[in-house]
Chain A
Amino acid sequence: QVQLVQSGAEVKKPGASVKVSCKASGYTFTRYALHWVRQAPGQGLEWMGWVNAGTGYTKYSQKFQGRVTITRDTSASTAYMELSSLTAEDTAMFYCARESFSRNDHWGQGTLVTVSS
C-alpha cells in the first residue's frame, strides 16, 4: 500500500532553516510528483511547490519562491522540503502529498515545525 512517512517535529529559532523529509513506499517513486503543503494553526491548506520525482523538475508557489527548496533522492525514495529564513509565521504543519493526474491521492502524516526564540 502507498505510504508517505514524514520526519519528526522540529523546533527552530527565527532565521534558521528546516529540512523535512518524506519517505515513499508502496509504489514506483519516480513515476509520481510529490507536493508540499503548509497549514498554519487554525488555517487552511497552502500549496508550497512540487517536484517531479523522476526528473527532479520543481515548481514553487510565488509566495515561497526564494525561500523554499524541494529536492528528491531517488535511491532513498525520499523527497525533501527545506524552508529558510524562518519566522514565527512559519509555525505550521507541513504535509507532503503524492500527485496523480493533478490530484493528491496520498498524504503524509504531517510534520509540525515550531519557530520560537
Chain B
Amino acid sequence: SHVLTQPPSVSVAPGQTARITCGGNNFGSKSVHWYQQKPGQAPVLVVYDDSDRPSGIPERFSGSKSENTATLTISRVEAGDEADYYCQVWDSDHVLFGGGTKLTAL
C-alpha cells in the first residue's frame, strides 16, 4: 500500500521560501492535496489536485508533483504561516495522510 513520507520539521526565515516534501511510491495519476493546521484549529485545504489553490488561499502557496515526490512551496513565508502541513492522497478507496511537517518561521 501507499505510504506518504514528510520531514517532521522545516524551518525558514521570514520572507524566504519554504518547501515541504511528500514522498510517495509512484504518485502516477493520484492527486495530491495539502492541508494547513494551526494549533487548536481544524485543518484547512491550501492546495488541491497537486497545484490548484482554493479561493481565499494566497498565491504564495503553490504545489508541484513528480513521479515520487509532491512539494508544497510557500513563498515569502510569514509568521502566520507557522503550522503543521499534511499531504493527502486517495489510494484504492482509502485516504492516506502524510505524517505532517511542522513549519517554523525563525
* Partner-B contacts on A (CB < 8 A): 35, 37, 44-47, 50, 59, 61, 95, 97, 101-105, 107-110
Additional A-B contact list (12), CB under 8 Å, known A46-B97, A101-B48: A44-B97, A44-B98, A44-B100, A45-B37, A45-B86, A50-B95, A95-B42, A105-B45, A105-B48, A107-B43, A108-B42, A110-B42
Contact in complex: A47, B95 (CB < 8 Å):
yes
Contact in complex: B96, A44 (CB < 8 Å):
no
Please count how many residues in chain B sit with their CB below 8 Å of the partner chain's CB atoms.
24
Contact in complex: A105, B42 (CB < 8 Å):
no
| Number of CB contacts from chain A to chain B under 8 A | 54
Q: Mark B48-71, 1 if CB is under 8 A from A, else 0.
A: 110000100000000000000000
Most buried by B among A37, A102, A105, A110: A102
Q: Mark B21-36, 1 if CB is under 8 A from A, else 0.
A: 0000000000101010
**Among the listed B42, B49, B84, B96, which residue makes an inter-chain contact with A103, where contact means beta carbons less than 8 Å apart?**
B49
Cβ of B99 within 8 Å of any chain A Cβ, yes or no, is yes
Contact in complex: B97, A104 (CB < 8 Å):
no
What are the residues of chain B within 8 A of A105 when measuring CB–CB? Answer: 45, 48, 54
B contact patch SS: strand
18 contacts between A and B (CB under 8 A): A44-B86, A45-B88, A45-B100, A46-B97, A47-B96, A50-B95, A59-B94, A61-B94, A101-B49, A102-B33, A102-B89, A102-B90, A104-B35, A104-B43, A105-B48, A105-B54, A108-B42, A109-B42
CB distance from A100 to the nearest CB of B (A): 9
What are the residues of chain B within 8 A of A47 when measuring CB–CB? Answer: 94-97
What are the residues of chain B within 8 A of A59 when measuring CB–CB? Answer: 93-94
Tell me the nearest residue of chain B to A47, going by C-beta. Answer: B95
Cβ of B106 within 8 Å of any chain A Cβ, yes or no, is no
**Among the listed B33, B99, B100, which residue makes an inter-chain contact with A104, where contact means beta carbons less than 8 Å apart?**
B33
